[in-house]
């Protein structure tokens, strides 16, 4: 199978680059560095290698991370929640981007599954729009532009037929 690698780099970017660089020509679909929370310089080094960068709530916690996210090229950007981890922590630096976010479902303590409710302290897929909203705010573009970029990048990376014109998506602001 010709699939991209799903990569995780935490506090080891230089070592990671040294290790992966010789193998990149053998990866026709490249790779995705998921949940990337490093510096702008590290992100640019990874993108220069042809890798995609995926962000989630853990990437919005420091000024350095916000700076990094704001500089990810739209043609290398991916979005994720990394559920059940990496929830968005409501910090002053990103709160303005979430002013118009729809309310989340009620949450409850761990226990049995209840349809329509979130588990307290756990990130869930229904928060994906919030990731897109923060990235859009940091980059100064629309949520639609971020969602389209992430969609098109995923389609390209996995070699899927692009159906965006055949199946329009509805976005909520």
| HEC readout, 47-106 | HHCCCEEEECHHHHCCHHHHHHHHCCCHHHEEECCCCCCCCCCCCHHHHHHHCCCCCCCC
pTM of model > 0.85: yes
* Domain interval for residue 79: 5-158
Residue 48 in any domain: the answer is yes
The CATH code of the domain that includes 46 is 3.20.20.140
- Say what the pLDDT of residue 103 is: 94
pLDDT of residue 134: 98
Q: Quick one: pLDDT at residue 170? A: 53
**Does any domain span residue 171?**
no
State the pLDDT at residue 112: 73
- Total domains present in the chain: 1
Residue 173 in any domain: the answer is: no
**Alpha-carbon distances, residue 11 vs 14, 37, 68, 163 (angstroms):** 9, 9, 15, 37
Q: One digit per residue, pLDDT tens: the chain, 173 residues? A: 688 999 999 999 999 999 999 999 998 888 999 999 999 999 999 999 999 999 999 999 999 999 999 999 999 999 999 888 888 998 999 999 999 999 999 988 877 778 889 888 788 899 999 999 999 999 999 999 999 999 999 999 988 887 654 444 555 44
What is the model's pLDDT at position 36? 96
**169 found inside a domain:** no
């Amino acid at each position: 199978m010709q699939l991209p690698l799903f990569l995780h780099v935490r506090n080891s970017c230089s070592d990671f680059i040294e290790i992966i660089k010789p193998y990149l020509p053998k990866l026709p679909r490249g790779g995705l560095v998921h949940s990337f929370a490093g510096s702008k310089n590290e992100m640019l080094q990874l993108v220069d290698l042809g890798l995609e960068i995926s962000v989630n709530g853990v990437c919005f916690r420091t000024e350095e991370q916000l700076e990094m996210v704001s500089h990810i090229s739209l043609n290398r950007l991916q979005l994720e929640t990394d559920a059940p981890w990496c929830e968005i922590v409501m910090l002053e630096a990103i709160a303005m981007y979430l002013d118009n976010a729809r309310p989340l479902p009620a949450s409850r303590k761990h226990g049995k599954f209840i349809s329509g409710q979130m588990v307290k302290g756990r990130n869930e897929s229904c928060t994906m729009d919030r990731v897109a909203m923060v990235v859009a705010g940091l980059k100064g573009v629309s949520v639609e532009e971020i969602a389209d970029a992430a969609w098109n990048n995923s389609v390209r990376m996995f070699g899927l037929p692009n159906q965006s014109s055949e199946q329009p998506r509805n976005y909520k602001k």
